Amino acid sequence: LWGSAPHPTPWGAAGILQSTKKLFLKERTGRGRTLEFIRRNAANGLSVANLVAGLASILCSLNRQYHHSCWLLLVGFLLDLADGAVARRLDACSALGAKLDDFADFTTFGLATALLLQPRGVLDGLLAIAYVMAVFARLCFFSSAGIPFTYRGLPCPYASSLLASTFLLTGGNVTLLCITATIMILFMVDQGFYPHDRVLESQLWKKVVYAGGVVAVLFSPATVASIYCLAWSTSYIIFPCAVWSCKA
């Protein structure tokens, strides 16, 4: 009959199948690219979060909200420990990521931490500058000298964690903070070896310590978080090999 509808041809069915297949493959390729982008930039995202925490800490210190500044420094401490572990786990280490991490560390553990000293005079200002320069030297010029799983000089995140915890526990006692900062400068510029603890890539108890730090900083009172991070940082600074020597 002239008015009857045409029957679908095999070519039409094959075309629909081919179009569906192309759409599926395109969607699968797009999802793969998204996952690859996330994998390559997960560590960079943690570095950026650390950088933002440092900048926010600086703003808090400039507005004399030092307790908030200390909390942000402790958050940055946890982010920095996770950053390297994520990069190595996902095999996403890159020159750009290393530069971003160093810049975030300098901002958070150098500039932001130095402002906790509340410099008001010439001597206080010189001490703050000396602290920043010690962090700069530690990040830029101290290498591990080819020895695996080691740092030369105290890693600046631990010095920052110790200073922030001391500030919270002493109510911002400037004299004690200046003494502590001076000691931390000596530890950072000294080229003695510290173990690369790799908290999230080592023994189970180190991972438990890190998880406890996350719970303490995010969910516990400031006093509890301060005592926890102070004990953690002090144990690494004073007993680096006896307690924290890496045995991955």
* Domain positions in the chain: 35-244
Interatomic CA distance for residues 74 and 78, integer angstroms: 7
Q: List, as one string, the DSSP characters of 153-211.
A: S--HHHHHHHHHHHHHHHTS-HHHHHHHHHHHHHHHHS--EEE---GGGS-HHHHHHHH
Q: Name residue, tokens 């800490």.
A: 57
C-alpha to C-alpha distances, 33 to 24, 27, 46, 97, nearest whole angstrom: 14, 10, 20, 19
Q: Are 163 and 118 in contact (CB under 8 A)?
A: no
Distance CA 8, CA 166 (A): 79
pLDDT tens track of the chain, all 248 residues? 445 555 554 456 666 666 666 655 666 666 666 767 666 778 888 999 999 999 999 999 999 999 999 999 999 999 999 988 888 888 777 788 888 999 999 999 999 999 999 998 899 999 999 999 999 999 988 766 555 667 888 999 999 999 999 999 999 999 999 999 999 999 999 988 888 878 888 889 999 999 999 999 999 999 999 999 999 999 999 998 888 876 65
| Backbone conformation region of residue 205, classed left if phi is above 0, alpha if psi is from -120 to 50, else beta | alpha
User: Taking Cα atoms as reference points, which of 131, 180, 164, 184 lies closest to residue 230?
Assistant: 164
Q: Answer whether 95's CB lies under 8 Å from 246's CB.
A: no
pTM flag (> 0.85): no
HSE-up of 42 (CA within 13 Å, CB side)?
Answer: 17
Q: What is the CATH number of domain 35-244?
A: 1.20.120
Given a contact cutoff of 8 angstroms between Cβ atoms, the answer to whether 209 and 236 are in contact is: no
Strand partners, 151: 194
